[in-house]
């Protein structure tokens, strides 16, 4: 079948002023759909989940996943050479994805990684989020402080379950700990206990309050540099048990300051969805590896850019990622916690799922004007792999909002 003539692919998109304007789609960029070489950076994509849109449930309360499409997307990421950071905030952990479903997801994904690796003859990198979200069930419980011992037990429960499933741990920031801690010493106590029991080196995840307002003041201080001092003390004291730390503060300077103070051998995994290109490229004193939610949405470009960087072609690395940055900044704009809506919308536009429905009803978290601008920026970045399909799917979403 002949490809459509793109000059004829037009769509009327809403503007912030309430008008409609005609947008003409452009050619997608020809990024490889499979990685052909290993990268010189460790690169995880935090992966989204595909909701079961046909489930007879209460979508704001219950969590039903389309397991086939969810696992298929992980195989797609592995094929592009990216690792999968499983059951993290990109998968709507704490915003629709509960702990029981998370554990099933982790178990299925770990098993899928082994099968994929055996089939393809190369590793399928995976690590899984370990938290305390079983303490966050119910509106009353979610606002009550737990004892520090309860927080420790919750972490231990998830650690044991994930390790039994064969998963590697990403120690997620805990809302329960943020509620309960009365001083930095409480954080030190919890992480000392958790890290001392880990079977193999973990990734520690410091998620900023812009991603989750309930994590404000994490590490015992509202000042990020004061909090960083506590975090560095914990990490460097347990360096043998820490593979790396992912910080998501959307501030490149803070990440670089922390990166330069990490103990030897401890990686910095950038979680900065605004400045990832600069941080991954690095400087004369080092670089960041990656654990990014935006890599889910820009996976082909991320893979191609990392391949170029590994080949010593920094200019191509920058050229590939440069047009993805405006898209990422739009997807992660405040309120940042709703970025998952944009990530899933990209998967829908690109044919990785047949619907734009999310667990927790989170497809409603962004306006149609926001989604229209996402469409424009994805097109300009060359990330709509089938422009005609993307246009037809955008038309459906517009129609649901009364826009013909």
pLDDT at position 138: 56
User: Chain-wide mean pLDDT for the chain?
Assistant: 95
Q: In whole angstroms, what is the distance from residue 198 CA to residue 26 CA?
A: 49
Provide CB contacts within 8 A for 27, sequence distance 6+.
Answer: 6, 382, 387
Judge whether 121 lies within some domain: yes
Judge whether 321 lies within some domain: yes
pLDDT at position 141: 61
pLDDT at position 2: 47
Residue 343: is its pLDDT beyond 70? yes
Instruction: Tell me which long-range contacts 249-256 makes (C-beta under 8 A, separation of at least 24).
Output: 249/206, 249/208, 249/210, 249/224, 250/208, 250/210, 250/274, 250/275, 250/332, 250/336, 251/224, 252/278, 252/279, 254/224, 254/225, 254/228, 255/279, 255/288, 256/283
Chain centroid to CA 202: 17
Judge whether 28 lies within some domain: no
Q: Are 149 and 182 within 8 A, CB to CB?
A: no
189-208: pLDDT as tens digits:
999 999 999 999 999 999 99
Provide CB contacts within 8 A for 61, sequence distance 6+.
Answer: none
Residue 288: is its pLDDT beyond 80? yes
105-145: pLDDT as tens digits:
999 999 999 999 999 999 999 999 999 999 986 554 666 66
Q: Are 126 and 167 within 8 A, CB to CB?
A: yes
Point out the least confidently predicted range of 137-141, 279-283, 379-383.
137-141
Q: In whole angstroms, what is the distance from residue 314 CA to residue 67 CA?
A: 38
Q: Residue 157 maps to which CATH number?
A: 3.20.20.70
pLDDT at position 1: 41
Q: In whole angstroms, what is the distance from residue 267 CA to residue 244 CA?
A: 4
Q: In whole angstroms, what is the distance from residue 103 CA to residue 157 CA?
A: 11
Which whole number is the average pLDDT over 262-273? Answer: 98
Judge whether 48 lies within some domain: yes
pTM of the predicted model over 0.85: yes
Chain centroid to CA 293: 2
Judge whether 11 lies within some domain: no
Which whole number is the average pLDDT over 333-359? Answer: 98
Q: Are 289 and 265 within 8 A, CB to CB?
A: no
Judge whether 86 lies within some domain: yes
- Domain span including residue 171: 42-400
Query: Can you tell me whether residue 143 is helix, strand or coil?
Result: helix
Q: In whole angstroms, what is the distance from residue 175 CA to residue 161 CA?
A: 20
Judge whether 331 lies within some domain: yes
Per the structure, the count of domains in the chain is 1
Judge whether 1 lies within some domain: no
pLDDT at position 136: 83
Q: Which residue has the higher pLDDT, 137 or 91?
A: 91
The residue to which tokens 């540099």 are assigned:
225
């Amino acid at each position: 079948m002949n490809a459509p003539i793109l000059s004829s692919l037009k769509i009327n998109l809403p503007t912030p002023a309430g008008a409609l304007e005609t947008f003409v789609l452009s050619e997608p960029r020809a990024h490889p759909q499979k990685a052909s070489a290993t990268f010189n950076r460790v690169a995880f994509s935090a992966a989204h989940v595909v909701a079961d849109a046909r489930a007879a449930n209460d979508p704001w309360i219950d969590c039903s996943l389309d397991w086939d499409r969810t696992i298929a997307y992980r195989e797609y990421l592995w094929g592009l050479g990216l690792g999968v950071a499983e059951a993290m905030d990109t998968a709507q952990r704490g915003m629709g994805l509960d702990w029981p479903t998370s554990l099933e997801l982790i178990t299925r994904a770990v098993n899928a990684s082994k099968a994929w690796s055996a089939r393809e003859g190369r590793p399928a990198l995976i690590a899984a989020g370990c938290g305390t979200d079983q303490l966050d069930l119910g509106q009353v419980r979610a606002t009550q402080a737990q004892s520090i011992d309860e927080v420790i037990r919750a972490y231990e429960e998830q650690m044991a379950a994930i390790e039994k499933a064969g998963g590697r741990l990403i120690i997620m920031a805990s809302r329960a700990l943020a509620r309960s801690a009365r001083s930095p010493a409480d954080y030190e106590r919890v992480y000392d206990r958790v890290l001392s029991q880990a079977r193999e080196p973990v990734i520690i995840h410091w998620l900023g309050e812009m991603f989750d307002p309930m994590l404000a003041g994490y590490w015992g201080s509202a000042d990020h540099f004061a909090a960083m001092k506590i975090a560095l003390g914990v990490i460097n004291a347990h360096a043998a048990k820490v593979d790396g730390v992912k910080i998501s503060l959307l501030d490149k300077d803070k990440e670089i300051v922390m990166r330069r103070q990490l103990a030897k051998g401890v990686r910095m995994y950038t979680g900065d969805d605004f400045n990832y290109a600069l941080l991954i490229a690095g400087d004369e004193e080092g670089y960041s590896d990656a654990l990014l939610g935006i890599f889910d949405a820009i996976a082909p470009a991320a893979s191609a850019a990392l391949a170029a960087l590994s080949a010593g072609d920094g200019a191509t690395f920058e050229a590939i990622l440069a047009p993805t940055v405006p898209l990422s900044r739009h997807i992660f704009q405040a309120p940042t916690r709703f970025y998952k809506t944009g990530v899933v919308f990209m998967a829908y536009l690109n044919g990785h799922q047949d619907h734009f429905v999310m667990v927790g009803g989170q497809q409603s978290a962004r306006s149609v004007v926001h989604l229209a601008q996402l469409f424009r920026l994805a097109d300009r970045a060359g990330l709509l792999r089938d422009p005609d399909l993307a246009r037809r799917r955008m038309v459906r979403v517009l129609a649901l909002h009364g826009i013909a």
